[in-house]
Amino acid sequence: MNIILLGPPGAGKGTQASRLEAERGMVQLSTGDMLRAAVKLGTPIGMRAKAVMDAGELVSDEIVSGIIGERLDMPDTESGAIFDGYPRTAAQAQALDGLLAERDRQLDYVIELVVDEEALVDRVTGRFTCARCGAGYHDRYKQPKVEGVCDVCGSTEFKRRPDDNAETVRTRMAEYRAKTAPILPFYEEKGLVRRVDGMADIDAVGAAIDAILDSGS
């Protein structure tokens, strides 16, 4: 099964994708995570992407569709992928169609996380992750079970994203509204879009997504 999780910054795409990966053996393909890894390694792509990401703007379609194409050639994606933060433009949606068709794969669902933008600033500015394993947390909505210790790997080091400040989040939201939300009709015409209330708590959002994936319709 191949699914897209679509929604603005802080909608919960990464939270739900990593849960689906852990519970269903699907692979999370987050272009944001891949780009941040490239920035950290200082690769040529990372060096080009850093300033764009820090400003909250979109990295070029060629770069992101290129890294997704390379990732889809790895065998772990054959049993199913969760596209988290990709596609984000009409050109990327077209590219993904081609990338999947070339590999005899198809999209099963596009799940839109429907959220109230005002609440998202709070979600994004309160987000932090484990510096060792990347597990995601929030200052209020998802705290580690033991304060200061990662639930997953026990590390005591955490980090925050440079683009997770109130000002950059506004730019990221504007980019979503202008370039990403307009791709929904492309998938609606194909009958693939399902909507989930992204304002519900994390477990309820997960249950709603599971119900869609298990319904087969």
What residues between 90 and 119 interact with ligand AP5 by CB under 6 A? 92
Tokens found for residue 86: 């990709």
Which of Mg ion, ligand AP5, none binds 144 (CB below 5-8 Å, type-dependent)? none
- Binding range to ligand AP5, per CB under 6 A, among 48-56, 70-78, 104-112, 208-216: 48-56
Is 161 assigned a catalytic role?
yes
Smallest separation, CB 16 to ligand AP5 (Å): 7
In the complex with ligand AP5, which residue's Cβ is closer, 2 or 92?
A: 92
Tokens found for residue 10: 């802080």
In the complex with ligand AP5, which residue's Cβ is closer, 7 or 80?
A: 7
C-alpha to C-alpha distance for 112 and 90, rounded to whole angstroms: 16
Q: What is the DSSP string of 76-95?
A: GGTT-EEEES---SHHHHHH
Taking a C-beta distance cutoff of 8 angstroms, is the pair 24, 10 a contact?
A: no
Is 19 assigned a catalytic role?
no
Q: Does 14 bind ligand AP5 (CB under 6 A)?
A: yes
Which of Mg ion, ligand AP5, none binds 172 (CB below 5-8 Å, type-dependent)? ligand AP5
Q: Helices in the chain by DSSP H: which ranges?
A: 13-24, 31-41, 44-55, 61-72, 90-102, 117-125, 166-175, 184-188, 202-215
HSE of 72 in the Cβ direction (CA atoms, 13 Å)?
25
In the complex, the residues that contact ligand AP5 under the rule CB under 6 A are 7, 9-15, 31-32, 35, 52-53, 56-59, 64, 85-86, 88, 92, 123-124, 126-127, 136-138, 141-142, 172, 201-202, 205
Task: Provide the annotated active-site residues.
Answer: 13, 88, 127, 161, 172
